[in-house]
Structure 1
Amino acid sequence: MLDHQTNHRLPPHLQSTYSSVESFMARVSSFPAPPPSPPLPSSTSEQRKVFTLWMKSLVLNGRGCTVYDSTGSIVYRVDNYGSSCSDNVYLMDLGGKIVLNILKKKLAFGKWEGYKWSGGKRQQEAAGAGAWFTVTRPCSSVLFQRSRRRPPSTCEFRSDGGRAMRYRMDDGCGACPGSGKQQHQAAPACCRIVDEASGAVVAEVKGKLTAGGVALGDDVLALTVEPNVDHALIMGMVLVYGLINHTM
């Protein structure tokens, strides 16, 4: 840009153009800076959190789910783009940043691995295990096939402190959306996630009800996560549960 001191040396027919450019640049420089990108959803909370899971994708004709917090804001989403029961699923935030990647092991029956993502790259665990968590579903025996309850799937992972931990997913006897069962008044849990070491329930999924006790539909769920439990880990386990039950 020309210096102010050289303005008097401009030819007369260019002085008006230069003044217009200066005025435009002054307006541009006064515009506020664009807001920074929103941070990733917090992984844990000191309070119990309740999320709403809508088992629909934001993408037209896509498969997946959308997760809302208690204020109605979207915190997570999954888009499989029309492919149900995908072997490669990404949990993203609203802006499309990958939070978690779930892979189904092709040579191991009933096994899924979850990987954290940061800065657009998949993270490897320092312990050398590679995956952040591993979910294993045991083969159903004849005994379980005759009953309504299936054997629980297990999730092995390491806490932030590096301690090996194990969660168990207890099936709620087919009460999940997609099972064809309508839920009334007191919605039964379709999935409970239990800390095997303490026996405490760390998360629970139920059909979501209105204040009057009316079910919102087979594709709307309420996810409750207890304090100091990693939300992304729980979401990963819930997604695997959906893949197991062919609801995604």
Structure 2
Amino acid sequence: MTKVHPNAAAAAKAAAAAPVVGEEKREAVSLTVWRRSLLFNGKGFTVFDCKGNLVYRVESYTGGSPREIVLMDADGHGLVTIRRKKLSLADEWLIYDGDAAASPMTATPPKRFTARRHVSLRSTRSLAHLSPVRPLVCGDAGAAPSCRYDVEGSYVGRSLDVFASTGSGGEQRRRVAAVRPKEAAVGPDVFRLVVEPGFDPALAMAVVILLEQMHAS
């Protein structure tokens, strides 16, 4: 079976180094996502870089689809919070910077995106849409503001793409991340997350968590 366990000695260093190195070289970052928590009887994800070092982790003790999930680095520091919105007529989630639950009420991390499951009576490749809560740029500096992200493909089949779109009609569109099956036959619980230069790997992993919640709900 393909190795999915981390190199513990380098885990702390890899949490910050792996994505940065890929961006400096202007190369795509390839991560291995393991749909399993490192905690006993826990649920979540464990994410490794191409050298087998731990980069991200998600841990949850609750069953079903929890309302709030935190993406952590190798040291357990919260990077992104995904929170399901209450009293919403549609399936909607909010994405925050950092660990929203650990922050005082007076210093709640800013919301970055609202996310919605794509709903259609017709067969479509669209899965979800992420819209910015505040102005931001699409990856590279100097890009147009108000970037939104569209997810297309099949999460169950572990084959999907994340596209960044700018402009009122989404006329400028480019792929920023992709999920693909692992080359070796290791089953659907281990797959690849490929992140293009200029796109935040933590946000790409947040999209994976969102899709897991959408399919579990």
User: Fold conserved (TM > 0.5)?
Assistant: yes
Among candidates 150, 172, 175, match of residue 201 of structure 1: 175
Instruction: Answer whether contact 2:157 2:188 (CA < 8 A) is retained.
Output: no
What SS class does the counterpart of residue 65 from structure 1 fall into?
strand
- Structure 1: distance between partners of 2:202 and 2:155: 25
- On the 8 A contact 1:140/1:150 being kept in 2, the answer is no
Q: CA deviation at 1:124?
A: 3.7
Offset of 1:165 from its aligned partner?
0.7
Q: List runs of 5+ in structure 1 lacking aligned partners.
A: 1-36, 126-130, 177-188
Secondary structure in structure 2 of the residue aligned to 1:196: strand
User: Hey, what does 1:153 align to over in structure 2?
Assistant: 128
Give the letter aligned to residue 181 of structure 2. Answer: G
* Contact 2:126 2:150 survives alignment (8 Å): no
Partner in structure 2 of residue 138 of structure 1: 118
Q: Is 1:171 the equivalent of 2:148? A: no
- State the aligned residue count: 184
TM-score scaled to structure 1, two decimals? 0.66
Matched-pair contact (CA < 8 Å) for 2:180–2:193:
yes
CA change 1:221–1:173 in 2 (3 A) is closer
Contact 2:161–2:177 at 8 Å: present in 1 too? yes
Maintained 8 Å contact 2:127/2:152: yes
Aligned CA RMSD, in angstroms, stands at 2.7
Q: Deviation of residue 104 (structure 1)?
A: 0.3
Higher strand share: 2
Equivalences for residues 1-248 of structure 1 within 5 A: 41=16, 45=23, 46-108=26-88, 109-117=90-98, 121=103, 124-125=109-110, 131-141=111-121, 143-144=122-123, 149=124, 151-157=126-132, 158-159=135-136, 163-172=145-154, 174-176=156-158, 189=159, 191-197=160-166, 198-210=172-184, 215-246=185-216
For the residues of structure 1 that align with 2:155 and 2:194, how far apart are their CA atoms? 19
- Measure how far apart 1:38 and its partner are: 5.5
Classify 1:98/1:194 alpha carbon distance in 2 versus 1 (closer, same or farther; 3 Å).
same
SS of structure 2 residue aligned to 1:201 = strand
Larger C-alpha radius of gyration, 1 or 2? 1
One-letter amino acid of the counterpart of residue 220, structure 1: V
Cα gap change, 1:220/1:243 in structure 2, threshold over 3 Å: closer, same or farther? same
- Is there any run of 5+ residues in structure 2 with no aligned partner, and where? 1-11, 167-171
User: Which TM-score applies when normalising by structure 2?
Assistant: 0.75
Contact 2:14 2:54 in 1 (8 A): no
Q: Which amino acid aligns with 1:96?
A: G
For 2:60, give the aligned amino acid: N
